């Protein structure tokens, strides 16, 4: 006897977003990642369309987190001390998207300040009002 799965129709759709741009599109990336477009809730693929595969994103911080589980920090080991090394480790682990979370304060709780580098490659930065 066949089992009828009750289906619910969701009237909305998730907007599609393409992250990155290839050189043909005027960007610098080797490939793009497209997310969204679903017309159903997660894991309910039988109720609507899921046009793009799920992607794995890894969030890295601009400094080693002090509020994370020791087990999680053990997995990232020394990579968690350097955002660039952390991003490389995340990519090696299979991340398709890297999310960089920047802190508003330094490790001592002081507000972080924007440090600008300028020289021959940035002759108009910072703007005259900020000099």
b (16+ CB within 10 A) / e for 43-59: eeeebbebebeeeeebe
What's the confidence (pLDDT) of residue 121? 56
Q: Cβ contacts of residue 62 below 8 Å, gap of 6+? A: 83, 100, 101, 102, 103
pLDDT tens for the chain, residues 1 to 131: 788 888 888 788 999 999 999 999 998 888 899 999 999 888 888 888 999 988 999 999 998 998 899 999 999 999 999 999 999 999 999 999 999 998 888 888 888 876 655 555 555 555 555 44
Beta strand 97-101 with 57-61 is: parallel
Contact call for residues 44 and 58 (beta carbons, < 8 A):
no
What's the confidence (pLDDT) of residue 19? 93
Q: Any idea where the domains of the chain sit in the sequence?
A: 14-54, 56-104
Q: What pTM, to 2 d.p., does this model score? A: 0.68
């Amino acid at each position: 006897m066949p089992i009828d799965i009750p289906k619910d129709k969701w009237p909305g759709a998730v907007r599609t977003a393409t992250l990155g741009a290839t050189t043909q599109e005027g960007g610098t990336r080797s490939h793009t990642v497209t997310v969204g477009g679903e017309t159903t809730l997660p894991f309910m693929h039988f109720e609507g369309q899921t046009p793009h595969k799920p992607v794995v994103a890894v969030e890295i911080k601009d400094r080693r987190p002090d509020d994370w589980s020791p087990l999680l920090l053990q997995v990232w080991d020394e990579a968690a001390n350097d955002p660039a090394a952390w991003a490389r480790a995340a990519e090696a682990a299979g991340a398709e998207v890297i999310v960089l979370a920047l802190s508003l304060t330094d490790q001592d709780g002081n507000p972080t300040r924007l440090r600008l580098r300028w020289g021959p490659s940035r002759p108009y930065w910072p703007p005259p009002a900020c000099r």
